[in-house]
């Protein structure tokens, strides 16, 4: 049986070079980095070297990078501290954010009675920047939380424009950049983002590690309390091997960005062309078929399948060795309609089963042909 992994937006396979680095550090650099002896010092050196290189990739200072367990913790750290410590009384977000943001904002509204405003999203899944400007026109201390690349439909937010709007209105700007870091270069000296979340396993790094960019002198304080690790912003013994692995993965992603992005972009275009030709009636959700307006790593398609067959679609694909998803991996097993697709307000889209196919450098056109052949056969069966 063929095995095809088209769920790279959920997680990516780790690069061989990264796995080797993780293993070597785990085996040879086991000292606690908070210890003063040579074992601890050697571990500390590795962490700080990784921090420096990650900071350089974003054009920021090393002290502005805080290591976390991943994107969800990074989002929680920023949003909770913004309300608790920075005096934020209004959070502006959208209803198509990842649940790491949406559920956290809902909890903050309940616990702190903050004002939560949702910026309008059009039928293509784009953020209405004019409406955002209206929402920012307030005397309240505000924080805007909008993701750079949507994790279900792939729409790309112009974070420079949002950052400029926030600067104009003296608001904080936080972006969940989990689907963007490692795939797009960001210069945070040019783009005045205050807080950013990233996760290593989205760019061929290890799971269980990520980072937060926290702009200098922001006043952000710790979510996890204990020791003084991460300059007091994140207590707990550092995940040394995974931090070093994350830096290796990010460095490789950016070193090979042009060639690898072109390869994956061509693969996505081939998928769009082939599925459009082979399956009449297929549709594309959000901007996912537009390679200028959406990320090159994913496409979200609506398939012309009756409701009575739709429930078996993912199961049948899995039987054929094909991995893809209905949406965010964090919602796996849910029978509810994707909250992202629901907000697009397309009745047609909601009535069709939609699947997210996401690609990486380890995929091929032959795999695309196989997947579309399986879909075509499934759809044609009575």
For the chain, how long is the longest CA-to-CA vector? 70
Paired tokens of 53: 């290189």
C-alpha pair distances (Å), 47 with each of 29, 237, 259, 277: 11, 11, 29, 50
The Cα–Cα gap between 308 and 259 comes to: 43
Sequence length of the chain is: 382
Would you call 324 a catalytic residue per the annotation? Answer: no
Whether 65 contacts 256, CB under 8 Å:
no
Whether 348 contacts 173, CB under 8 Å:
no
Q: Which of 28, 330, 351, 366 is catalytic?
A: 330
The Cα–Cα gap between 213 and 68 comes to: 10
The Cα–Cα gap between 360 and 249 comes to: 14
Residue 115, phi then psi, degrees to nearest 5: -85, 125
Q: Is 170 helix (H, G, I), strand (E, B) or coil?
A: coil
The Cα–Cα gap between 49 and 256 comes to: 21
Q: Is 185 helix (H, G, I), strand (E, B) or coil?
A: coil
Whether 172 contacts 86, CB under 8 Å:
yes
Burial class (CB in 10 A: 0-12, 13-18, 19+), 46: buried
Catalytic residues: 330
């Amino acid at each position: 049986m063929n095995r095809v992994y088209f769920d790279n937006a959920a997680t990516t396979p780790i690069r061989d070079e990264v796995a080797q680095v993780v293993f070597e550090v785990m085996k040879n650099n086991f000292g606690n980095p908070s210890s003063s002896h040579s074992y601890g010092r050697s571990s500390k050196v590795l962490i700080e070297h990784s921090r420096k290189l990650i900071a350089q990739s974003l054009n920021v200072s090393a002290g502005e990078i805080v290591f976390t367990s991943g994107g969800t913790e990074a989002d929680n750290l920023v949003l909770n501290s913004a309300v608790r410590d920075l005096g934020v009384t209004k959070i502006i977000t959208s209803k198509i954010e990842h649940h790491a943001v949406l559920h956290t904002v809902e909890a903050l509204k309940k616990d702190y009675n903050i004002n939560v405003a949702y910026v309008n999203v059009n039928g293509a899944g784009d953020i209405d920047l004019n409406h955002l400007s209206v929402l920012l026109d307030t005397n309240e201390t505000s924080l805007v939380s909008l993701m750079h690349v949507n994790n279900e439909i792939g729409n790309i937010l112009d974070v420079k424009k949002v950052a400029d709007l926030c600067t104009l209105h003296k608001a904080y700007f936080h972006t969940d950049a989990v689907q963007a870091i490692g795939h797009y270069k960001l210069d945070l000296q040019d783009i005045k983002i205050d807080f950013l979340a990233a996760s290593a396993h989205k760019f061929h790094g290890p799971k269980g590690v990520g980072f937060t960019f926290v702009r200098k002198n922001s006043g952000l304080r710790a979510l996890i309390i204990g020791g003084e690790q991460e300059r007091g912003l994140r207590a707990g013994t550092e995940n040394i091997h995974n931090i070093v692995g994350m830096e290796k993965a990010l460095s490789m992603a950016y070193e090979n960005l042009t060639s690898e992005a072109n390869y994956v972009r061509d693969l996505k275009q081939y998928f769009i062309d082939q599925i459009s030709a082979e399956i009449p009636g297929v549709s594309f959700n959000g901007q996912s078929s537009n390679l200028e307006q959406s990320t090159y790593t994913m496409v979200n398609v609506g398939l012309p399948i009756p409701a009575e067959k739709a429930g078996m679609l993912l199961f049948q694909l899995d039987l054929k060795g094909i991995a893809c998803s209905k949406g965010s991996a964090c919602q796996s097993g849910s029978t509810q309609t994707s909250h992202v697709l629901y907000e697009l307000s397309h009745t047609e889209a909601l009535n069709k089963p939609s699947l997210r196919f996401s690609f990486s450098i380890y995929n091929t056109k032959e795999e695309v042909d196989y997947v579309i052949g399986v879909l075509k056969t499934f759809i044609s069966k009575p």
